[in-house]
Amino acid sequence: MGGYTSQELTAIFVMQGFSGLSLFCVFLLMALGLAIIFGQMGVINMAHGEFLTLGAYITWMVSELATETWPWMQEFYFPLAVVLAFAGTFILGYLVEMLLIRRLYSRPLDTLLATWGLGLILQQIYRSTFGPREVSVVMPDWLMGSWAPTDIIDIPLNGLFVMGITSLMTLLVVILLYRSRWGIKVRATTQNRAMANAAGINTQRVDRFTFALGCGIAGVAGAAFTTIASTGPTTGSLYIVDTFLVVVFGGAASLLGTVVSAFGIAQSQSILEFFLSGSMAKVITLLTVVGILMFRPQGLFASKVRR
């Protein structure tokens, strides 16, 4: 294949597969937040990518503070930046739901247009505040370098760290949804909102916290994103289509479907990009997903929901 030896092909697939895992982590964190919002609330949040951008910018600001003002923070600022990225985007998401989204429930087209407009506003705010140029964080020394299991395979340490963050966030989301009282309320609201209200569940409060949580997870995705690429005002918008694709392909309200879909799409794009151009890799991946959805429109793992 292309003049490569079998050993070289093995190394290529391993390294591109690991590169796909880094992309998978960003897709999964973005899609987890979007799946929670869309699956439970039926809200199509077109501004979801801008919450990723905000998380990335918060991480960059903490990096700048650690580098220029408090050098003693340089070695351990990143975990703090992840927490602040979650907190900042959670608060913004809470305010957006309270001031905008709550007035547009049961109006999907209006919600789509309103959040699309919100995304454009946030992009302009980022451009006016941080400038049009892309920025990059200064990584701590312990995230630099790579792990070389063989002479021809190098796996970046920052990718391993991103995988750890993603695994932790996914575990926390599973615990919240299936092992907590809030999770019971979320699932009750998803299955039958009227009955949940009748049972005394404050579905409005559940919606607000759910939207804020989804936005907070997108902020963590932004922090993870800074380890693999630079950040600009429109960074989030570049991933929103792929994120919606992951959610729809996996099944709108299925956590397992989101994980499987994110893994498959990220790996396909990463491996195909090595042998083809990036645009062709996206086209082939999209055509494959669309073809599968034609035969299974409910997604890979459809949830049984009582209406």
pLDDT digits (tens, 9 = 90+) for 272-301: 776 666 677 777 777 777 787 777 776 777
Does residue 75 form part of some domain?
yes
Does residue 279 form part of some domain?
no
Name which residue leads in pLDDT, 21 or 45.
Answer: 45
Q: In the prediction, which pLDDT does 305 show?
A: 47
> What is the arithmetic mean of pLDDT over 10-18?
61
Whether 239 contacts 229, CB under 8 Å: no
Percentage of the chain lying above the pLDDT 70 cut? 82
Q: In the prediction, which pLDDT does 58 show?
A: 95
Encode pLDDT of 33-73 as tens digits: 888 887 767 788 889 999 999 999 999 999 988 888 777 77
Q: In the prediction, which pLDDT does 38 show?
A: 77
By residue range, what is the domain housing residue 198?
A: 17-132+154-237
Query: For the chain, what is the domain count?
Result: 1
CA distance 184 to 175: 11
Over the chain, what is the mean pLDDT? Answer: 80
Q: In the prediction, which pLDDT does 176 show?
A: 87
> For residues 111, 170, 55 and 267, what is the CA-based torsion angle, rounded to 10 degrees?
-90
Structure pTM? 0.82
Does residue 139 form part of some domain?
no
Long-range contacts at 283-291 (CB < 8 A, ≥ 24 apart): 286/245, 289/245, 289/249, 289/265
Does residue 143 form part of some domain?
no
Does residue 290 form part of some domain?
no
What 3-state class would DSSP assign to 228? coil
Closest CA to 57 of 243, 240, 219: 219
Query: Which two three-digit tokens encode residue 8?
Result: 């070289």
Q: In the prediction, which pLDDT does 180 show?
A: 86
Does residue 305 form part of some domain?
no
Q: Which residues neighbour 68 within 8 Å (Cβ) at sequence distance 6 or greater? A: none
Q: In the prediction, which pLDDT does 141 show?
A: 74
Q: Which of 109-123, 160-174, 279-293 is the least confident region?
A: 279-293
Does residue 62 form part of some domain?
yes
Residue in the structure block whose two tokens are 């926390």: 172
Does residue 255 form part of some domain?
no
